Structure 1
Amino acid sequence: MEALDLSAEQLAAAVGARPFLLLALLLTGTVGPILGLVAVARLSERHARALWGRAIRAYGAAAEHPVTQRLATAFPAVARVLRELSAAEYLVIHLGLGLAVSVAALVFIALAEAVSGGSPLVQVDLALARALHGATSGAGVAALGAFTHLGSGWALTVVAIAVAAVLLGRGERVLAVGWLIALAGGGLLNYALKALFARPRPSFDEPLAVAAGWSFPSGHSMGTFVTFGMLSYLGVLFARTLRVRLAIVALAMSWTVAMGFSRMYLGVHYLSDVLAGFAAGSMWLAVCVSGIEVARRRPGRAVTPGDQPIAD
């Protein structure tokens, strides 16, 4: 075990000595799986109709089950909302988002326990942070120092107001309210998590940048994840082709990963802080998107451009 831990620290130090190799690995580990899932889905498209038929039959059987009927009687408002959802919407949107919440929660809990319990991950964090600090350049610090301000609370607030104004101008009140709740709630959640874990930030004799507050999870990483995740969601709603939707998601994730990388490069966060920010942001984003989807499909709501079906 000690040899394994030492190897992990050495690997972290080696990767940290090559900052843009670390950035490439982070991008590959996030954007790559999404594009891979899309490729698998396209290759298995010939089986989709049969699987979809089974899903619809299962959904119908569950809706007619006596237990479901009793629950519908006890909770009529919930039943009305669910009746507005097709099998496709329920299975893909809500079960998929529920899975995302579960996986992200497990990742966050694992990171939190590792950081709080002083596991070998802490030593990996330290080794990577020291290696990155020693491998920085003046040009890199200047460029990423400017870039990282785009993930600050003030910058994201400007984005929040601008996007909300556009959505309201298009008559998309549900999306506008959901957008604002997602961003404001994400900020409050991050503040609460930082206070709960109270992890000190990395410390160096000659710091490249100084940031106030606690370190875990990264506020820039979480805030950017929620903001650009919501922008991706809005973009997918209004995009007309699969190619455009994929481009939106890939660009949003690349920007988010670059923001997390900037925080490590500047020495104000550890790797686990950034990953925890992504995990917590995933949980909150999934909850918000699920809630918005229910609100958009509530009975009696008028159809707006964002509700129109999207072409493949």
Structure 2
Amino acid sequence: MEALDLRAEELAAAVGARPFLLLALLLTGTVGVLLGLVAVARLSERHARALWVRAVRAYRAAAEHPVTQRYPWVARVLHELSAAEYLVIHLGLGLALTVAALVFVALANAVSGGASIVQVDLALARALHTSSSSAGVAALRAFTHLGSGWALTVLAIVVAAVLLKRRQRVLAVGWLIALAGGGLLNWTLKALFARPRPLFDEPLAVARGWSFPSGHSMGTFVTFGMLSYLALLFLPTLRARLAFAAFALGWTVAMGFSRMYLGVHYLSDVLAGFAAGSVWLAVCISGIEVARRRPGRVDGRPLQG
């Protein structure tokens, strides 16, 4: 185990000595995840029709079961959602929420318990600091400001105004709750874990507050995750939706990388920010979808007039 930990630290140091190789690896992994999701979606579309029919029947049976009828609010929610909507949206989001929550808990336990990831964090942080360049620092200092609280607040106001202009009140309220709630959740988690930030004799950047999880990473993940959700609703073609999703994932990964490069967060802080952001994003989108399909709405859109 000690030999494995040592190899992990050496690998972290080697990758940190080539910072933009690390960024390329992160982006490659992100694109791989996106392509994997597309492949799964296509395979499911081609081969899962029989399973889908059975799942829809099971859902309808559950909605009409006498036990369900004893709880009017449960029966009402089930009947307000079609089987397809429930299975795709809520089971999918529930799976994402569960996986992300498990990842966050694992990272939190590892960091709190002083597991080997802490040494990997330190080795990677030192290597990134040593290999930094003045041009890289200047570029990422400018870029990282786009993930700050004030920048995301401005974006939140602009998007909310556009949604209200289009009479999408539920989406506007959900959008604002997602961003504001994500910020509050991040502040709470930071206070709960109270992990100090990386320390260097000559820091490249200075940030206040606790380190775990990364606020920039979590805030950007929630913001661009919500933007991808809106793109899924409003962009007309699958190609446009996938292009925006790829851009959103790339932007989010680059934001997390900037926090590590500038030495204000560890790798585990950034990963925990993404995981916590995934949990909150799944909750928000699921809630918005339920609200959009309440009585008095057609196909998830407000009735006109």
Q: TM-score range by the shorter chain?
A: over 0.9
Cα deviations by residue, 1:65-123 (Å, 9 ceiling, x for unpaired): 222222xxx3x234223212111110110111111111111000000011111111000
Matched residue SS, 1:201: coil
1:180 corresponds in structure 2 to 176
Matched residue SS, 1:150: helix
1:288 corresponds in structure 2 to 284
Is the Cα–Cα contact under 8 Å of residues 218 and 273 in structure 1 kept in the other structure? yes
Q: CA deviation at 1:34?
A: 2.3
Cα deviations by residue, 1:139-184 (Å, 9 ceiling, x for unpaired): 1000010000000000000000000000000000000000000000
Cα deviations by residue, 1:52-74 (Å, 9 ceiling, x for unpaired): 2112111122223222222xxx3
Q: CA deviation at 1:44?
A: 4.6
2:102 corresponds in structure 1 to 106
2:139 corresponds in structure 1 to 143
Matched residue SS, 1:273: helix
**5 Å matches for 1:49-60?**
49-60=49-60
**Which TM-score applies when normalising by structure 2?**
0.96
1:310 corresponds in structure 2 to none
Is the Cα–Cα contact under 8 Å of residues 293 and 300 in structure 2 kept in the other structure? no
Is the Cα–Cα contact under 8 Å of residues 63 and 78 in structure 2 kept in the other structure? no
Q: CA deviation at 1:46?
A: 2.4
Cα deviations by residue, 1:231-272 (Å, 9 ceiling, x for unpaired): 000010011221111111111011000000000000000000
**CA distance change for structure 1 residues 299 and 44 in 2, over 3 Å: closer, same or farther?**
closer
Q: How much is the aligned-residue C-alpha RMSD, in angstroms?
A: 1.5
Is the Cα–Cα contact under 8 Å of residues 16 and 22 in structure 1 kept in the other structure? yes
For 1:241, give the aligned amino acid. T
In structure 1, distance between residues paired with 2:297 and 2:163: 17
Is the Cα–Cα contact under 8 Å of residues 160 and 180 in structure 1 kept in the other structure? yes
Runs of 4+ residues deviating >4 angstroms: 302-307
Matched residue SS, 1:14: helix
Tell me if 1:299 matches 2:280: no
In structure 2, distance between residues paired with 1:305 and 1:178: 14
Tell me if 1:275 matches 2:294: no
Q: CA deviation at 1:33?
A: 1.5
In structure 2, distance between residues paired with 1:149 and 1:96: 33
**Which TM-score applies when normalising by structure 1?**
0.94
Matched residue SS, 1:211: coil
In structure 1, distance between residues paired with 2:130 and 2:181: 36
In structure 2, distance between residues paired with 1:280 and 1:306: 31
In structure 2, distance between residues paired with 1:148 and 1:110: 27
1:200 corresponds in structure 2 to 196
For 2:5, give the aligned amino acid. D
In structure 2, distance between residues paired with 1:78 and 1:168: 30
1:164 corresponds in structure 2 to 160
Q: CA deviation at 1:305?
A: 5.7
In structure 1, distance between residues paired with 2:302 and 2:118: 45
Is the Cα–Cα contact under 8 Å of residues 236 and 248 in structure 1 kept in the other structure? no
- Give the total of aligned pairs: 303
For 2:163, give the aligned amino acid. L
Tell me if 1:20 matches 2:4: no
2:261 corresponds in structure 1 to 265
Is the Cα–Cα contact under 8 Å of residues 172 and 304 in structure 1 kept in the other structure? no
Q: CA deviation at 1:30?
A: 2.5
Tell me if 1:62 matches 2:90: no
Q: Which runs of 5+ in 1 are unaligned?
A: 308-312
In structure 2, distance between residues paired with 1:62 and 1:290: 20
Q: Percent identity?
A: 84
1:252 corresponds in structure 2 to 248
**CA distance change for structure 1 residues 109 and 19 in 2, over 3 Å: closer, same or farther?**
same
For 1:187, give the aligned amino acid. G
Cα deviations by residue, 1:268-311 (Å, 9 ceiling, x for unpaired): 0000000000000000000000000000000123567689xxxx
Q: Which runs of 5+ in 2 are unaligned?
A: none
2:29 corresponds in structure 1 to 29
2:73 corresponds in structure 1 to 77
Is the Cα–Cα contact under 8 Å of residues 182 and 280 in structure 2 kept in the other structure? yes
